[in-house]
Structure 1
Amino acid sequence: MHRVAFVVYPGFELLDMSGPVSVFTSANRALGLSEKPAFYAIDLVSVSGGPVTSSSGIAVHTQSLEDRAHEAVDTLLVAGAESENLLPILADPAWAAWLPKLTGKARRFGSVCSGAIILARLGLLDGHRVATHWDACTPLAAAFPPVSVDPDSLYVVDGRLWTSAGVTTGIDMALAMVAQDLSADIAGEVAKRLVLYARRPGYQSQFSPLLQAQVKADSPFADLIAWILANLAAPLEVPALADRAGLSERTFHRRFVAATGETPARFVETARLDAARMLLCRGISLKSVAAEVGLSPAARFSEAFERRFGIAPRLFREMHAAF
């Protein structure tokens, strides 16, 4: 059994823990359906042990850090929390006494969301590239200069260190762990059982183009954006989009920028390239990807992809096609 220990504390974000736990326990179930033994065992750990109440008011039963530090751990993950719940933890000397001992023994360790701040405070992230919640990226980078903060990725793997961005990205990271430990097929079965929209790779941005537009209060272009994302292979020039929105080109351009923070052309290219990365991960040919996302011919697609991501799409496919 591979023991996965989740470190929690009063006021922790419940989904930071429960989301990944569901992934690991679902992996056990998938193995059981194939008459294979369970692979993961889950432990919840806190400074003093006993019941610990999350920010949502739900309490979980935990072991103490001191007791757990004397036992083997395969994977250790620290949950995140809002800043007001993190501050008391950062001042508690028990973390410095026991958490480094646990991480030192673990095959891999890391954090979900703002849990990275706890690891950074203990010097466990120095010299590493990490992900954290978008709202914590700037404070983390400012407070801990030896840490390289990646503000874009859903999760980052740097040697033994695994860190994820905000809340639900812990699920994405846990799925990647399952794929590494067991197989991509098992990870896919887990994602299907949890009714996830898609398994998201670590390099994907914390905000999809659609979500970026939706967070702008009641975006008037939500329906148009949904149509764009469903019709990437179609001609998506500004005049056609303006006509579909029932606006003049000038008015459409001005209102679209105000609603999304991007020009229509930039938004369309972002949506196409995001979709292209997902298709490349499936090993699809450049010519087919270019056609599917509306960036034919392949040379045009390659130029746009390399300009945006700094890597040729062919090399990207070779690096990520196994995901």
Structure 2
Amino acid sequence: MHPVAFIVYPGFELLDVSGPASVFNGANRALRQRGKPEFYNVVIASTEGGAVESSAGVAVETRPIAELRYGQARTVLVAGAEREPLMQAVADPVLRASLPRLISKAERFGSVCTGGFVLAALRLLDGRRVATHWDSCTPFAKAFPKVTVDPEALYVNDGRLWTSAGVTTGIDMALAMVTHDLDATIAGEVAKRLVLYARRPGYQSQFSPVLQAQVKGDSPFIDLIGWIHSNLDLALDVPSLAARASMSERTFHRRFVAATGETPARFVEVARLDAARMLLSRGLSQKTVAAQVGLFPPTRLAEAFERRFGVAPRLFRDMHAEL
């Protein structure tokens, strides 16, 4: 068994724990279906043990952190929270004394969302690269100048250290851990059972172009944007999109920029390149990817991909394709 210890405190973000824990439990389920023994044993710990209330008002039962024998927890993850409960956790003398010893014997450690503040305050992240919630990147970098904050990544793996960005990215990080511990097939089955839209790699940006457009609730283009992402192989020029939106080209262009902050051409290119990056990470050929995302011939994909990401598509695939 591989014990996974989640460290929580009053006011923690519930999804920081329940999301990754569901992934590990899902991996155990997939193993049982294959007639294999379970791999993960999830433990939730706090300084005093007992019921600890989350920011959602839901309490979880925990074990005292002192009961975790050093070396028993092979993965240690600290949950995040809003500023006030987070600062109280940072100041907790029991947590400050116990956590470094617990981590010193763990195979890997890390945080979900803003839980990295706790680790950084204990000088456990100096010289490391980390991810955290986009809204906390600047204050994190200012408070801990010896830590390199990646404001784009969904999660970062730096040796034994694993850190994730905001909330649901803990699920993405846990799936990557399952891939590392077991295999990509098991992780894929877990993602499917959790009805995830896609398994997101760590290098994917926290800022989805679809979500950014949907943030503006009055945007008239929410349905169109969903259609664009489902039809990247089609001609997505302004005349075609304007016709689909039942607008003149000039009106469409003006209103699209106002709603999304991007020109239609720029929006479509970003969507195509993000999709290309995901497909390449699955090991697909450059020719196949170029056709699927509407950047054919492959030389067109290569030029646009290298311009945005600074690396050739083939090299990116070789570096990131799942085994």
User: What TM-score, normalized by structure 1, do the two folds share?
Assistant: 0.96
Shift of 1:243: 2.8
Runs of 4+ in 1 over 4 A off after TM superposition: none
Residues 69 and 101 in structure 1, CA contact (< 8 A), matched pair in contact too:
no
Residue number in structure 1 paired with 2:208: 208
**1:26-72 C-alpha deviation (Å, 9 max, x unpaired):** 11111111111111111111112221111112111212222325352
1:233 counterpart letter in structure 2:
D
Residue number in structure 2 paired with 1:95: 95
Residues 4 and 43 in structure 2, CA contact (< 8 A), matched pair in contact too:
yes
Cα distance in 1 for partners of 2:28, 2:244 equals: 48
**1:166-224 C-alpha deviation (Å, 9 max, x unpaired):** 11111111111011101111111111221212111111112322111101233111111
Residue number in structure 2 paired with 1:138: 138
Cα distance in 2 for partners of 1:257, 1:142 equals: 33
1:41-60 alignment to 2 at 5 Å? 41-60=41-60
Cα distance in 2 for partners of 1:166, 1:311 equals: 27
Cα distance in 1 for partners of 2:269, 2:203 equals: 17
**1:131-190 C-alpha deviation (Å, 9 max, x unpaired):** 111111111111111111111111110100001111111111111101110111111111
Shift of 1:97: 0.9
Shift of 1:119: 1.0
Count of equivalent residues: 323
1:14-25 alignment to 2 at 5 Å? 14-25=14-25
Q: Secondary structure at the match of 2:113?
A: coil
Residue number in structure 2 paired with 1:292: 292
Say which is worse superposed, 80-89 or 19-28, in terms of deviation.
Answer: 80-89
Residue number in structure 2 paired with 1:241: 241
Residue number in structure 2 paired with 1:126: 126
Cα distance in 2 for partners of 1:251, 1:262 equals: 15
Cα distance in 2 for partners of 1:142, 1:69 equals: 35
1:74 counterpart letter in structure 2:
R
Cα distance in 2 for partners of 1:71, 1:287 equals: 48
1:291 counterpart letter in structure 2:
A
Shift of 1:2: 0.6
Shift of 1:88: 1.3
Shift of 1:95: 2.2
User: What TM-score, normalized by structure 2, do the two folds share?
Assistant: 0.96
Q: Secondary structure at the match of 1:62?
A: strand
Residue number in structure 2 paired with 1:62: 62
1:3-22 alignment to 2 at 5 Å? 3-22=3-22
Residues 69 and 98 in structure 1, CA contact (< 8 A), matched pair in contact too:
no
% same residue:
70
2:275 counterpart letter in structure 1:
A
Residues 129 and 150 in structure 1, CA contact (< 8 A), matched pair in contact too:
yes
Q: Secondary structure at the match of 1:114?
A: helix
Say which is worse superposed, 276-285 or 178-187, in terms of deviation.
Answer: 276-285
Cα distance in 2 for partners of 1:171, 1:282 equals: 19
Unaligned stretches of 5+ residues in structure 2: none
1:257 counterpart letter in structure 2:
V
2:66 counterpart letter in structure 1:
E
Cα distance in 2 for partners of 1:226, 1:15 equals: 26
Taking a change above 3 Å as real, the CA distance of residues 157 and 71 of structure 1, as seen in their structure-2 partners, is closer
Cα distance in 2 for partners of 1:149, 1:248 equals: 44
Residues 214 and 222 in structure 1, CA contact (< 8 A), matched pair in contact too:
yes
Residue number in structure 2 paired with 1:228: 228
2:244 aligned with 1:255: no
CA root-mean-square deviation: 1.3
Cα distance in 2 for partners of 1:253, 1:286 equals: 31
Say which is worse superposed, 92-101 or 112-121, in terms of deviation.
Answer: 92-101
Residues 235 and 294 in structure 1, CA contact (< 8 A), matched pair in contact too:
yes
Say which is worse superposed, 93-102 or 149-158, in terms of deviation.
Answer: 93-102
Residue number in structure 1 paired with 2:308: 308
1:216 counterpart letter in structure 2:
K
Residues 70 and 105 in structure 2, CA contact (< 8 A), matched pair in contact too:
no
Residues 25 and 40 in structure 2, CA contact (< 8 A), matched pair in contact too:
yes
Cα distance in 2 for partners of 1:80, 1:34 equals: 34
Residue number in structure 2 paired with 1:269: 269
Residues 213 and 219 in structure 1, CA contact (< 8 A), matched pair in contact too:
yes
**1:10-41 C-alpha deviation (Å, 9 max, x unpaired):** 01111100111111111111111111111111
1:19-34 alignment to 2 at 5 Å? 19-34=19-34
Q: Secondary structure at the match of 1:239?
A: helix
**1:76-111 C-alpha deviation (Å, 9 max, x unpaired):** 000111112212112222222111111111100000
2:40 aligned with 1:75: no
2:2 counterpart letter in structure 1:
H
Shift of 1:4: 0.3
